[in-house]
């Protein structure tokens, strides 16, 4: 999914396109397409530009596309939504584990074999116990999900709960000394990787940096060191 010029460690970085319009998102894709591994399209941009945003982002880069739509509805509706999203070619799609086993299984059926369904445990803007998050992660695994989303604070417990096969994605990641913003449970990139994360979601530390490409490169280097240790 990455270009051949990508830096080691960058394939583990997910950059969220948290902007209100497609014409604001595409310059970020152009700028960072060799600096990160996945672009995340969330509710704000989806509400503004929908499937067209997904198509344009995919056309602009070889990096992966992550639809962070956090589906949560009755099983039949979620299954139909996941199936309808498949032609857009995303690599990952989020659903809320709080929707229950039947809903998660429906999402997996609708997504098919090539779209990884990620069960969102507890949002990083909320307090949560490790036991609660680990239990939701086990539910995602038992329902056939290909991965889970949790904070880095619970990544070690989640990895233990789901085993080595499932992907673990950690949002709320900040470099040491970075502003936590509206996130409650935050960790550094190296701590998240050391705890078992496969991918880290890093937005503001890159977007707000004086040199976003250099900021992404520094985070990629930290990830590489954590993977090597």
Tens digit of pLDDT at every position of the chain (229 positions): 443 334 579 999 999 999 999 999 999 999 999 999 999 999 999 999 999 999 999 999 999 999 999 999 999 999 999 999 999 999 999 999 999 999 999 999 999 999 999 999 988 778 889 999 999 999 999 999 999 999 998 999 999 999 999 999 999 899 875 555 555 567 999 999 999 999 999 999 999 999 999 999 999 999 999 999 8
d(CA 52, CA 63): 17
> Could you give all domains of the chain from N- to C-terminal order, each with its CATH number?
10-228 (3.20.20.70)
Q: What is the pTM of this model?
A: 0.92
Strands 38-41, 64-71: pairing is parallel
Q: Is 101 a catalytic residue?
A: no
Residues 6+ positions from 72 with CB-CB distance below 8 Å? 78, 95, 96, 98, 99, 103
d(CA 151, CA 197): 9
Catalytic residue among 55, 70, 109, 207: 70
């Amino acid at each position: 999914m990455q270009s051949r010029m990508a830096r080691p460690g960058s394939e583990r970085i997910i950059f969220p396109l948290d902007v209100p319009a497609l014409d604001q998102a595409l310059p970020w894709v152009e700028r960072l397409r060799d600096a990160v591994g996945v672009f995340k399209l969330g509710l704000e941009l989806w509400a503004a530009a929908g499937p067209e945003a997904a198509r344009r982002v995919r056309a602009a880069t070889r990096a992966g596309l992550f639809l962070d739509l956090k589906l949560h509805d009755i099983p039949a509706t979620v299954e139909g939504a996941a199936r309808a999203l498949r032609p857009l070619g995303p690599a990952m799609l989020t659903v809320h584990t709080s929707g229950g086993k039947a809903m998660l299984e429906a999402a997996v059926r609708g997504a098919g074999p090539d779209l990884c369904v990620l069960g969102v445990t507890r949002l990083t803007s909320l307090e949560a116990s490790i036991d609660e998050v680990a239990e939701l992660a086990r539910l995602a695994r038992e329902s056939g999900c290909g991965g889970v989303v949790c904070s880095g604070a619970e990544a070690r417990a989640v990895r233990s709960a789901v085993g080595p096969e499932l992907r673990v994605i950690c949002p709320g990641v900040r470099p040491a000394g970075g502003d936590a913003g509206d996130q409650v449970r935050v960790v550094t990139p190296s701590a998240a990787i050391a705890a078992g994360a496969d991918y880290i979601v890093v937005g503001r530390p890159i977007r707000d940096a004086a040199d976003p490409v250099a900021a992404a490169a520094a985070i990629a280097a930290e990830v590489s060191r954590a993977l090597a240790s």
